[in-house]
Chain A
Amino acid sequence: MNKQFTIAQKIGLMFRYDEDIPQDMEGWIEHQLQAPSPALGIAKTGASVTEWPDELQPNLAKRAGMWRRYRALKKQQREGKNGQDTEAARQANRHENLMQEKDEHKFVQRNAYGADQVKLRLTSFWANHFTIGNTFDTGQLIGHAIDEGILAKLNGSFADMLYGITTHPGMLTYLDNVWSAGERSEKAKNCRRKPDCQAGLNDNLGRELLELHTVSVSAGYSEDDIRAAAQVLAGWGIDFGEELSTMRKRTGSNNHWNAYKKQWAEPGPKKVMGQTIYAGRSGLRQLTDFLASHDHTINHISIKLCQHFVSDSPTKAQIESIKSVWHQSNGDLHAIHTQVLKLAINAPDAKFLWPMTWLFQVVRLSGATYFKGWENTHNYNNKLMHTKKVFEELGQSFWSLRQPDGYSNDKAEWLSAEMFERRVRFAEAIYVNGGTRRSANKIMDRIGAAEQTRALVASVGPSPKDQFITLMCSPELMGLEYV
């Protein structure tokens, strides 16, 4: 591939079939990192690309209101009241009040149409690092966490992103923190006096904060450190289904992203990995700042960044250079990202692509309209599957129920017949149902495909469909090596 497409493949989503190709790639990267990032998409098939409407991007308060309404109607449905127990009413409730399918649809459309391809790749990396799996009650929140907790914070410090995502209601719900209470908290004390009252510590988020989000097991922390981190976290967050009045009463706040329940908090200072953390709301920021600048955190995440963007088997020197920028810049994400991208475009080796990244690239290169417009998120279409279903079948989605360690950055984890069969099938489905605007030959001319790729595509005969499938499943387009 020519230089522009080689770079766009590694650190972006490829230039769309009709997009201008920049000459100055370094300037382009800097512009990509800084430019505003509207969510682009289409209202319906054939419509021009515009920004997603505001009403489909509700804030947290609106999402909470929809969630309460969803649950109230669900209750009526169970009780057979107000005509809610019909299939039509059940569907209407889901479509009107649940955000998960709409959010996933928006994420997918902006990846297909967005002008901010580099930011979108970085967003996926961090959204995966800070995985919020879909346990249904988090479905209402995952999209908001990705947009406001990750994408909006790409140019700040890692410490800000860490604190923001740790306190996001999506994370606090996914890892059970909204139900956790300090062992010596007022809540736990009161509870002990009542029969059938449960209140106590849940260490799920404390554990993953250390193990996955920051220092990793290499830091050699103890079970006591995990418990202490959980005690620092106790009190943060509130069940998203609670009435607003209850939230105000317990937290003194109207904001779900700043909900701290004093009664649930553990009194007194705590010690996490040798660091004393003071009691109260500000203790968490103290803890996440301490963890954000820890050597083991920097090492752990530098390796992950390298493996995701630079090379399937990164060298020590590459990892060290990211660590060094991280230290020098005090964890400034813009500086860190710039260094990662620089390494990526200078690394000669192929870089394997996640299934979702590959799918977006196939759609962009070919100009296919493979996803429905936002007016039709829930409508049946003979050709285009529900967006949610596409990614279920692909085997990768940020809206699936997944483990908190997220999707692997290790190529070996993705090499299987079933996963490869999906690539063949999706290449076909996009060709057959997506109304592709560019043939395999046109695409190869535009990207400056390698001789081996041209030979491989020629070897399968004259069928344009077979040629398209072969091109998209070639080593060059999958980020793999040639024979």
Chain B
Amino acid sequence: MSKLIPGRRNLLKAGAASLFLAGVPIAGLAKGKPPGSISVIILEGGMDGLATIPPVGDPDLMRMRKAISPEGYLPLNDFFGLHPSLKFYAQLMARGHASAVHATAFPYTKRSHFEGQNMIEGGGLSPFSEKTGWLGRALDLADVAGRSLSLDMPLILRGHHENDNFYPASIRGSSRPKADLVNMIAMGHKMEAAQIFTKVARKSEENVRVPRDPASLATYAGRAMAQADGPVASVIRVNNFDTHANQVEEGDADAGRLARQLVVVDDVIAGYRRGLGKAWDDAIILTLTEFGRTVAVNGTWGTDHGYGSVGLLAGGTLSASGVIADWPGLSKKDQFEKRDLMATIDYRSVCAACLEKALGIDHDLIASQVFLQPDLPRVFDHLFA
């Protein structure tokens, strides 16, 4: 970058509020508004891909996990079914607006939540190798802003200082902070903390009220992203996928913890659809989870940490529905380390394709600068052809 062009950080320090809005091009660096939007739903705990999109055509499925395979699944084709909780998602599939990628994972095989979550958000070559996140780095490349709808700033969005997080407060006895006061407080603080207080002041001026459940937050995010100068990316976190116990209810494989969590995912996708309106046509939504779960059922109506899982995709940018997979099989010899679903598609490639579509950046640039893996395979044509 030329030294003559002021960085965004400097503009922010100068305190010119209008320059903080999303997607404001900087002279000489202008790329214009990206072609689409990208939203990530992080499913914390490790989602069981084999129950979400059961490979009903694989004879080993019922042999290995009869007790927890959903019975009321919706057949998608000869081989794959869809969990009965994903009702809205099923409608999207019928319209060609949703796809799934199966037997996929980030290249992380050690089954720790914390390392795994760090990998899928950081997008580096190994856990804890990056202090910034893949979406943050991509937004930085594309020079646009993002927003996270939770109380903490997730790793995935770090790396791009124009990011913002959002989870409206409800505290008796407190009112919307006075922007002037908070700006004064900011002046007493050093660099990073000063910037954060400045952001608090700016948000206070925006004065928006939204409800706080995941689906409503998704609707809010969709609406914001649908605006001409709105954010280009959003992240929503859904936890509780670590279904070691009671993944299904005893005697009812269509009920239980996973079924309930998948309803939340379905509601979040529906919320985005509602909020995005016409902007749905340019949107891509994808799920992320740190790993899949064991093929076999454990002793407690659940499954333990595994490897390969499924990624759910939705949005008007998809042109056809389907389950994209290079199916590895479920028999003992086909399993990863004789226990997990093998991953045959690198999910970083799926993320890269979504970034390419939404932000209009070259795959090679994403591979080398976002995922730090120049030879990352390009799967764009399988998803968006």
Residues of A bordering B, CB below 8 Å: 176, 179-181, 188, 191, 196, 198-204, 207, 211-212, 217, 223, 383-385, 393, 395, 401, 403-405, 412-422, 424-426, 428-430, 432-434, 452-453, 456, 459-460, 466, 469-470, 473-475, 478, 480-483
Q: Does B250 contact A (CB under 8 A)?
A: yes
Within 8 A of A (CB), among B345-372: none
| Partner of B174 from A180, A199, A429, A452 at Cβ < 8 Å | A429
Q: Does B299 contact A (CB under 8 A)?
A: yes
Contact B298 A202 (CB under 8 A): yes
Cross-chain pairs A/B with CB under 8 angstroms, 27 sampled = A176-B244, A176-B300, A176-B302, A200-B297, A200-B298, A200-B300, A202-B299, A203-B305, A204-B244, A207-B112, A211-B114, A223-B110, A414-B152, A418-B166, A418-B169, A420-B200, A421-B200, A424-B200, A426-B174, A429-B172, A429-B174, A456-B188, A460-B185, A470-B185, A474-B188, A475-B193, A483-B187
Of all chain B residues, the one with the shortest Cβ separation from A453 is B188
Interface residue SS majority, chain A: helix
Q: Which residues of B contact A188 (CB under 8 A)?
A: 299
Q: Which residues of A contact B199 (CB under 8 A)?
A: 417, 420
A437 to B172, CA, bound (A): 19
Distance between A127 CB and nearest chain B CB, rounded to angstroms: 18
A204 to B245, CA, bound (A): 10
Contact B152 A413 (CB under 8 A): yes
Q: Which residues of B contact A416 (CB under 8 A)?
A: 151-153, 165, 196
Q: Which residues of A contact B174 (CB under 8 A)?
A: 424-426, 428-429, 432
Contact B189 A483 (CB under 8 A): yes
Known: A405-B113, A417-B164, A421-B203. A180 touches B169 (CB 8 A): no
Contact B304 A204 (CB under 8 A): yes
Size bracket of the B interface: 35 or more
* 6 nearest A-B residue pairs (beta carbon): A200-B299, A429-B173, A433-B173, A425-B174, A456-B188, A416-B153
Distance between A354 CB and nearest chain B CB, rounded to angstroms: 13
Known: A405-B113, A482-B188. A415 touches B299 (CB 8 A): no
Contact B167 A418 (CB under 8 A): yes
Within 8 A of A (CB), among B179-213: 181-182, 184-185, 187-190, 192-194, 196-197, 199-200, 203-204
Q: Does B91 contact A (CB under 8 A)?
A: no
Distance between A188 CB and nearest chain B CB, rounded to angstroms: 7
A412 to B112, CA, bound (A): 22
Q: Does B380 contact A (CB under 8 A)?
A: no
Contact A223 B337 (CB under 8 A): yes
| Partner of B185 from A200, A429, A430, A456 at Cβ < 8 Å | A456
A429 to B176, CA, bound (A): 11
Known: A426-B171, A429-B173, A483-B190. A198 touches B67 (CB 8 A): yes
Contact B185 A481 (CB under 8 A): no
Distance between A63 CB and nearest chain B CB, rounded to angstroms: 21
Distance between A451 CB and nearest chain B CB, rounded to angstroms: 12
| Partner of A470 from B115, B184, B196, B203 at Cβ < 8 Å | B184
A459 to B242, CA, bound (A): 50
Q: Does B35 contact A (CB under 8 A)?
A: no
Q: Does B282 contact A (CB under 8 A)?
A: no
A475 to B245, CA, bound (A): 45
A419 to B151, CA, bound (A): 7
A419 to B300, CA, bound (A): 38
Q: Which residues of A contact B175 (CB under 8 A)?
A: 428
Contact B200 A202 (CB under 8 A): no
Q: Which residues of B contact A405 (CB under 8 A)?
A: 113-114
